[in-house]
Chain A
Amino acid sequence: MCMRNALMIGLIAVLTVSILWSSEAADQNERTHGYGLGRPATGQELQEWNIDVTPTGEGLPPGRGTAKQGAAIFAAHCASCHGPTGQEGPMDRLVGGAGTLGGQKPVKTIGSYWPYATTLYDYVRRAMPFSAPQSLSPEEVYSVVAWLLHQNGILAEDSILDAPSLAAIRMPNRNGFVPDPRPDVQRTETNPF
């Protein structure tokens, strides 16, 4: 094959690829709605960032844990901020406070205040431990969530916590929330302004 033919074949190949590519790009532009900006998110991007868990349990990964297993994980990663039993602080108190919400000194904890157990998985996975967020395995998160629910009297110590059982838990303060009724403060003076 002489040089000229080789060049010609190469040119045709490049043209074919670019025609195919641009028709694919045109399809993309048709699919979008006006500006043709951005690109489809990759599966890896979705897998890396799609970490939220909803109250129906959507987003909970495979895996399981028990409160017994969670005790050691809490002691190693959590107790220095939340206290040995989750009540001592110095940071947010996690355990106790049942029946205090309507009193003079309400104690808002997972057990007394949080409306959904699934939120606990979501939050521990995304933001804890404070010095190394997103470092716990699914088994470790299930276990520490199980321990926190057990400490609050919501789950037995040897109960296995996994996606279906976590989504099925009904938290004590599930019905404690109301929509925003504001404006809620009436004018007290006659005709201000």
Chain B
Amino acid sequence: MNRRSLLAGTAAMVSGMVLRSLAATAESAMPVAPDDPSRVPGAAPTPYGQRSGFEEAVRVPRSWWASLTPLQDSHGILTPSALHFERHHNGVPVIDPAHHRLMIHGLVEQPWAFTMEDLKRFPAVSRLAFIECSGNSAIEWRAPTGQTVQQTHGLTSTSEWTGVALKTVLREVGVKSDAAWMLAEGRDAAAMTRSLPLGELIEEALLCYAQNGEPLRPEQGYPLRLLLPGWEGNTCIKWLRRLKLGPAPFMTREETSQYTDLMPDGTARQFTMVMEAKSVITSPSGGQRLQPGFIDIRGLAWSGRGRIVQVEVSTDGGQSWQQTELQEPILSKCHTRFCLPWRWNGEHVILQSRCLDETGYVQPRRTALVAVRGVNSVYHYNAIQSWSIAADGLVSNVHA
């Protein structure tokens, strides 16, 4: 081979790499795989990686203000940051971290302000935690509505979150003894706000600047969000700019007229923070079509009160239950993966899962939940989910 042909070959290789990396950045463009990839040099390194162009799992919108995680396509317990569900109250703001600050005032020794650099200098804490929107599965109270598990349960995700412990920062500022509640406020166009009782949240709350090893995604609160592991997602205020300590709840719109649970007698429950234990079979799930034979039943379970200790699956509409295998890691306030090997013989069946958490709480049947709360409370629906498998293999959402 002479020098000229070597150069020409290199040029062709480089331009091929450029073309391939361009193709990979265009979401819609399906890549063209060579007949034998082992005979063609592959792509060059890229500054920020993309998933394979063959993969198509995406968030789907529930409305203009929320998008849902594709649980049916998820593996293990972590949610990729790009697929973490979204819920915002007036869009995703653009915030320059260099000009962002967190102000803490009210019942403190002196009003205090921290830059992002200040917050990152505090001792860092990382932990895994699920965040679930209190409205997850809200469409299921009255009738089976969501066609897929993404639609019925996609407002929950698990990430590793990194930041500084709230108690560390509050100690630095000096909270007065008569402070009992904390107002957290975002810098989005809703200036989203919640009042949080100090006593319970101190130990586990984090002021997070990172998710899954990199800075928060904009839709997850970049550059700073609150994390209250196990509490309803809207309490984990994103784009956090202000904490105000006070003697009583501030009674914002969100905790009075919005995130309150209306009961059949016309009263409404307030400050219903914890997300109770819940599980769902993610495969097989709504919209999928099965072939008879071996099926690895897979699903997720989680509890805002701690660890999941057991998940059972029924393949006969709840008449009998089998214990599933929980896959490691089994962590407090995190998605926990369960699985059960099974054979489908081609007959109509109804699949269900139910979970038990470390406090002894058992995920309820829908009829038991509705008997207590009626169907107008909107939030905190955590009943057993039923998937019907028809004789033709089609899986659909039913109430059973």
Could you tell me which A residues sit within 8 Å of B by CB distance? 31-35, 37-42, 45-46, 49-52, 54-55, 101-103, 106, 108, 110, 113-116, 118-119, 122-123, 126-127, 130, 133-134, 176-188, 192-193
CB-CB < 8 A to B321: which residues of A?
192
Check: B55 CB closer than 8 A to any chain A CB.
no
By CB atoms of chain B within 10 A, which of A42, A55, A183 has the most?
A183
Partner of A116, one of B256, B310, B373: B256
Could you tell me the distance in whole angstroms from the C-beta of A161 to the nearest C-beta in chain B? Answer: 18
Known: A119-B252, A130-B90. 11 other contacts (CB 8 A): A31-B110, A32-B112, A33-B174, A41-B105, A41-B111, A42-B113, A54-B246, A101-B266, A178-B267, A183-B276, A187-B362
Partner of A37, one of B101, B114, B185: B114
Q: Given contacts A178-B267, A193-B312, is CB(A37)–CB(B356) below 8 Å?
A: no
Could you tell me the distance in whole angstroms from the C-beta of A26 to the nearest C-beta in chain B? Answer: 16
Partner of A193, one of B256, B265, B310: B310
Partner of A52, one of B244, B264, B376: B244
Could you tell me the distance in whole angstroms from the C-beta of B174 to the nearest C-beta in chain A? Answer: 6
Q: What are some 6 contacts across the A-B interface (CB < 8 A)?
A: A33-B173, A38-B113, A45-B111, A106-B262, A115-B256, A126-B190
The reply to whether B112 and A52 form a contact with Cβ atoms under 8 Å apart is: no
The reply to whether A178 and B354 form a contact with Cβ atoms under 8 Å apart is: no
A178–B272 Cα distance when bound, in Å, is 10
One of B11-19, B20-28, B213-221, B364-372 at the interface: B364-372
Closest 7 CB pairs of A and B: A102-B266, A41-B111, A101-B266, A123-B253, A126-B191, A38-B114, A41-B113
- For B110, give the chain A residue with the smallest CB separation: A40
A134–B189 Cα distance when bound, in Å, is 9
Partner of B270, one of A34, A39, A178: A178
A176–B371 Cα distance when bound, in Å, is 21
Could you tell me the distance in whole angstroms from the C-beta of A97 to the nearest C-beta in chain B? Answer: 11
The reply to whether A180 and B271 form a contact with Cβ atoms under 8 Å apart is: yes
CB-CB < 8 A to A106: which residues of B?
262, 266, 376
Partner of B266, one of A37, A122, A176: A176
CB-CB < 8 A to A181: which residues of B?
269
The reply to whether A45 and B113 form a contact with Cβ atoms under 8 Å apart is: yes
In residues 353-400 of chain B, which contact A (Cβ within 8 Å)?
Answer: 354, 356, 361-362, 364-365, 367-369, 371-373, 376, 380
CB-CB < 8 A to A108: which residues of B?
257, 262
The reply to whether B172 and A32 form a contact with Cβ atoms under 8 Å apart is: yes
Could you tell me the distance in whole angstroms from the C-beta of B168 to the nearest C-beta in chain A? Answer: 8
CB-CB < 8 A to A37: which residues of B?
114, 118-119, 121-122, 172
The reply to whether A178 and B269 form a contact with Cβ atoms under 8 Å apart is: yes
A179–B114 Cα distance when bound, in Å, is 34
The reply to whether A185 and B113 form a contact with Cβ atoms under 8 Å apart is: no
Check: B248 CB closer than 8 A to any chain A CB.
yes
- For B368, give the chain A residue with the smallest CB separation: A188
- For B270, give the chain A residue with the smallest CB separation: A177
Partner of B362, one of A42, A102, A113, A193: A193
CB-CB < 8 A to A35: which residues of B?
121-122, 168, 172
Check: B60 CB closer than 8 A to any chain A CB.
no
By CB atoms of chain B within 10 A, which of A37, A45, A116, A179 has the most?
A37
Partner of A185, one of B268, B272, B372: B372
A117–B339 Cα distance when bound, in Å, is 51
Could you tell me the distance in whole angstroms from the C-beta of A96 to the nearest C-beta in chain B? Answer: 14
Residue interface mask B110-141, A partner, CB < 8 A = 1: 11111100110110000000000000000000
The reply to whether A49 and B242 form a contact with Cβ atoms under 8 Å apart is: yes
Q: Given contacts A41-B103, A108-B262, A182-B274, is CB(A32)–CB(B174) below 8 Å?
A: yes
Residue interface mask B81-109, A partner, CB < 8 A = 1: 00000000110000000000101110001
Q: Given contacts A33-B172, A122-B253, A133-B190, is CB(A179)–CB(B270) below 8 Å?
A: yes
Check: B236 CB closer than 8 A to any chain A CB.
no
Partner of B251, one of A50, A119, A176, A180: A119
A186–B367 Cα distance when bound, in Å, is 11
CB-CB < 8 A to A133: which residues of B?
90, 189-191
Could you tell me the distance in whole angstroms from the C-beta of B163 to the nearest C-beta in chain A? Answer: 14
Check: B283 CB closer than 8 A to any chain A CB.
no
CB-CB < 8 A to B185: which residues of A?
49, 52
Partner of B112, one of A34, A39, A118, A180: A39
In residues 215-254 of chain B, which contact A (Cβ within 8 Å)?
Answer: 241-242, 244, 246, 248, 250-253
Could you tell me the distance in whole angstroms from the C-beta of A86 to the nearest C-beta in chain B? Answer: 14
Check: B273 CB closer than 8 A to any chain A CB.
yes
Partner of B103, one of A45, A110, A113, A183: A45
A133–B263 Cα distance when bound, in Å, is 32
The reply to whether A114 and B257 form a contact with Cβ atoms under 8 Å apart is: yes
CB-CB < 8 A to A46: which residues of B?
103, 105, 111
